[in-house]
Amino acid sequence: MAMEMEVRDVSQKKETTQFLTIVQAVNDGMKTLLETDDSVMILGEDIGKNGGVFRATEGLQEKFGADRVVDTPLAEAGIIGTSIGLAVNGFKPIAEIQFLGFIYPAYEQIMTHVSRIRMRTMGHFTVPMVIRAPYGAGIRSPEIHSDSTETLFTHMPGIKVVCPSTPYDAKGLLIAAMEDPDPVIMLEPMKSYRAKREEVPTGKYTVEIGKGKKVKEGTDVTLIAWGAMMTVVEKAAEQAEKKGISCEIIDLRTLYPIDRDIIAESVQKTGRAVIVHEAQLTGGLGNDIVSIINDTSFLHLRAPIERVTGFDVPVPFFALEEDFLPTPARVLEGIEKVVHF
Amino acid sequence: MKTQYPIKRIIDDEGNLVDASYEEQLDEELVKTLYYHMHRIRTFDRKAISLQRQGRLGTYAPFEGQEAAQVGSALALGADDWMFPTYRDHGAKLTFGADMTKTYLYWNGRVEGCVPPEGKKIFPPAVPIATQLPHAAGAAWAERRKGTKNAAIAYFGDGATSEGDFHEGLNFASVFKVPAVFFNQNNRYAISVPIEKQMNSETIAQKAVAYGIPGVRIDGNDCFSVYFEVKKALDYARSGNGPTLIEAVTWRTGAHTTADDPTKYRPEDQGKDIVEPLLRMERFMKNHGYWDETWMAGIDEKIKAEVESAVEAMESYPKANVEDLFDHVYAEMPAQLADQKESYLAHLRRG
């Protein structure tokens, strides 16, 4: 009897997970939301019949209808602007911006309305919505398709910004974002969209917004990154281990509000930090993280904090994008610099 | 184009009925209601300018001259419709049911001024030009998806038609056939830039052609014309036919705001021939035997008392609460913001 139960449990467990890439997990997250909440709608360019340029919405219009999974006109401000009207009037839009580099026409709508409507009406009107956008360089995209402008949004009070690096987190953060009473921008690392697969639960679960994740324990230096840079950081850490340097790795996952505790706890242990992001150095999120370490862990530091980032140049045409992006070798140099300070 | 989009009117400058098909509908009750609201919002507006001059109100955007457009459109709405006004449409808001004290508070820098009465779907005034048009399209889209008969109205000026959001709002609204009315008040100036410099098209109404929707050009100083055309557009929307673009041609009598001096950019005699909406309706009422000095004195007294009482309530309103600076940004305050709040409150406590 007991044996039978155990066998059934195992088979049930097998049925309740799927082996998915990040982009498949995003798709599964939207499917779960559409299935469980009739007010959820998806809006975007080419997301219906075509299933999205990255296939993130593949099969969803067929399953849920063109009223809920909507091919919109080619207009980012229109997508976000109408999502605002839908959201104040009871619907829960998930707006896809095809590439983060094309979000700028919608910036005014996000900055002056999405982020402010709660504050402007003291909570009378709110716009719970999710804005999804693939971001980042490294897949030989045409120019402008590879931007990583997360700080344009972390600088904007009233919205939250998440950036998953794994299939599990992608689905869990997407569902958490849609359930959040405030608008959330989810930046999806397009370089990692199909890079790895992992077990992702079927059905509904959430990953808490505002919480980072310790990916690896270590003692000598804390590496802090998110999104597509996680792979770079993990490779650098492997090489550092070979040189006898023990790295602790933190995947920030949420870029606003940042998990200050996980940063402080780790840096207070290691005394050293290397922050890695592909966005430009000046005005980059690394500076906020340096400030958090300064505020929480100043007396624990054994070396100045190192930032390994993109340069203060526009994201280049793809012939030079590998020179723009932080590499494991550059991160390793940063690690050695802080360890041997 | 001006001949294809003639300015429709029901009464002329002398208050004569020029479209006899409306004769029966212009009953005394409707006429007096429209007049009452125009007089009410004008009293509000003039008081606001006076308060600003005395330093009792912040910079204020007056709407005098546009009362017919604002009252006619607002009274045409159903109680459950949505209103997306601009910062010059507080006359329309007040007519639709916004609170007068709160409307004054808005112009005194108080966020409370954006909170509509419970159940009134009045969006905060759009400040960035034309950004509210996609919102109206979205809210109307939601009504269509819910299967209601409610509609949304977006207010905007002539300058707004140059913005991308004008196009995106009308395009989305027409593509998804949403129950929206795009109500343009063409007062001929966007701050200092006259309409001839704003656009090469002769009318705003003709822009509707590009979206495959009805476009209508009306005399915005004829309150009847505004009321009935907006009603018609709302009926059209509620019946599932999609949006309408209405151009109400009007005239801003005063400045863009109390910080503006229109003598710098408007010729002195421009607009002098325009018969303002209240005088025009007064003439109509006199022609039709609806004018009654006793009634007029009565409403004037009532409105003045209402305005005085709203001003008093505005001025005795509790002081802005510093916690409100922090408390309405997120549903649940992030820890970093909570720290900032606590730190600032501690600073204040230290005096």
pLDDT at res. B351:
87
Residues B244-267, buried b or exposed e (16+ Cβ, 10 A)?
Answer: bbbbbbbbbbbbbebebebeeebe
Distance CA A255, CA A159 (A): 11
Residues A31-41, buried b or exposed e (16+ Cβ, 10 A)?
Answer: bbbbeeeebbb
Distance CA B92, CA B73 (A): 7
Distance CA A136, CA A192 (A): 10
Bridge partners of B82, per DSSP, are: B152
Average pLDDT over residues A122-140: 97
CA distances from A100 to A105, A141, A154, A180, B78 (A): 11, 13, 14, 21, 40
* Nearest CA among A153, A112, A101, A118 for reference residue A288: A153
* Nearest CA among B122, B153, B149 for reference residue B137: B153
pLDDT at res. A15:
62
Residue B98 DSSP symbol: -
Class at the top of the CATH hierarchy for domain A213-339: alpha beta
User: Are B96 and B155 a contacting pair, CB within 8 Å?
Assistant: no
Q: Does A203 touch chain B (CB under 8 A)?
A: no
Distance CA A21, CA B207 (A): 47
User: Are A209 and A254 a contacting pair, CB within 8 Å?
Assistant: yes
* Nearest CA among A208, A191, A96 for reference residue A148: A191
- Residue B203, classified by CB atoms within 10 Å of its CB into exposed (0-12), middle (13-18) or buried (19+), is buried
Distance CA B322, CA B327 (A): 9
Q: Which residues in chain B have their CB less than 8 angstroms from residue A161's CB?
A: none
Measure CB to CB from residue A73 to each of B114, B145, B171 and give the nearest one.
B171
Measure CB to CB from residue A157 to each of B128, B141, B329 and give the nearest one.
B329
pLDDT at res. A2:
39
Distance CA B326, CA B320 (A): 12
Q: Say if the Cβ atoms of A72 and B172 lie within 8 Å.
A: yes
Q: Is B39 a catalytic residue?
A: no
A8 has pLDDT over 90: no
Task: For residue B167, give the chain A residue with the closest CA.
Answer: A78
Q: Say if the Cβ atoms of A124 and B115 lie within 8 Å.
A: yes
Q: Which secondary structure element, helix H or strand E, spans residue B185, and what is its range?
A: strand B180-186
Q: Name the interface residues of B facing A (CB cutoff 8 Å).
A: 82, 111-112, 114-116, 123-124, 127-128, 131, 133-143, 145-146, 152, 164-165, 168-169, 171-172, 175, 324, 328-332, 334-337
Report the amino acid identity of residue B103: T
> What is the distance, to the nearest Å, from the Cα of residue A65 to the centroid of all Cα atoms in its chain?
28
Distance CA B219, CA B335 (A): 55
Residue B21 DSSP symbol: G
Report the amino acid identity of residue B52: Q
Q: Could you tell me the pLDDT band of residue A219, with boundaries at 50, 70 and 90?
A: very high
**Tokens, residue B25:** 């509908």
pLDDT at res. B48:
98
3-state secondary structure at position B135: helix
Among residues B56, B87, B167, B265, the one annotated as catalytic is B265
Q: In chain A, which segments carry CATH 3.40.50.920?
A: 213-339
Average pLDDT over residues A196-223: 97
Q: Say if the Cβ atoms of A119 and B329 lie within 8 Å.
A: yes
Q: All domains of chain B, ordered by start, with CATH?
A: 20-320 (3.40.50.970), 321-351 (no CATH)
Kindly report the nearest CA distance between residue A271 and chain B, in angstroms: 23
Measure CB to CB from residue A82 to each of B134, B143, B324 and give the nearest one.
B134
Residue A6 CB contacts under 8 Å (≥ 6 apart), including other chains: none
Cis peptide before A257 (omega within 30 of 0): yes
- Residue A323, classified by CB atoms within 10 Å of its CB into exposed (0-12), middle (13-18) or buried (19+), is exposed
> What is the overall mean pLDDT for chain A?
95
Q: Which residues in chain B have their CB less than 8 angstroms from residue A122's CB?
A: 111-112, 114-115, 324, 328
pLDDT at res. A12:
46
User: Are B123 and B103 a contacting pair, CB within 8 Å?
Assistant: no
A202 has pLDDT over 80: yes
**Tokens, residue B214:** 């009805």
pLDDT by position in tens, chain B (length 351): 888 999 999 999 999 999 999 999 999 999 999 999 999 999 999 999 999 999 999 999 999 999 999 999 999 999 999 999 999 999 999 999 999 999 999 999 999 999 999 999 999 999 999 999 999 999 999 999 999 999 999 999 999 999 999 999 999 999 999 999 999 999 999 999 999 999 999 999 999 999 999 999 999 999 999 999 999 999 999 999 999 999 999 999 999 999 999 999 999 999 999 999 999 999 999 999 999 999 999 999 999 999 999 999 999 999 999 999 999 999 999 999 999 999 999 999 998
pLDDT in tens, A274-315: 999 999 999 999 999 999 999 999 999 999 999 999 999 999
Average pLDDT over residues A6-11: 42
Strands A247-251 and A221-225: parallel
Distance CA B36, CA B33 (A): 5
Measure CB to CB from residue A85 to each of B127, B136, B165 and give the nearest one.
B136
* Nearest CA among A165, A143, A149 for reference residue A107: A149
Among residues B252, B280, B283, B290, the one annotated as catalytic is B252
3-state secondary structure at position A230: helix
CA atoms within 13 A on the CB side of A291: 8
DSSP letter string over B239-290? Answer: TT---EEEEEE----S-SSTT--GGGTS-TTTTTTPPPHHHHHHHHHHHTT-
Distance CA B214, CA B234 (A): 12
Q: In chain A, which segments carry CATH 3.40.50.970?
A: 17-201
Kindly report the nearest CA distance between residue B315 and chain A, in angstroms: 20
pLDDT at res. B2:
87
Q: Say if the Cβ atoms of A90 and B146 lie within 8 Å.
A: yes
Residue A14: Cβ within 10 Å count: 9
CATH superfamily, domain at A17-201: Thiamin diphosphate (ThDP)-binding fold, Pyr/PP domains (3.40.50.970)
- Rounded to a whole number of angstroms, the CA Rg of chain B reads 21
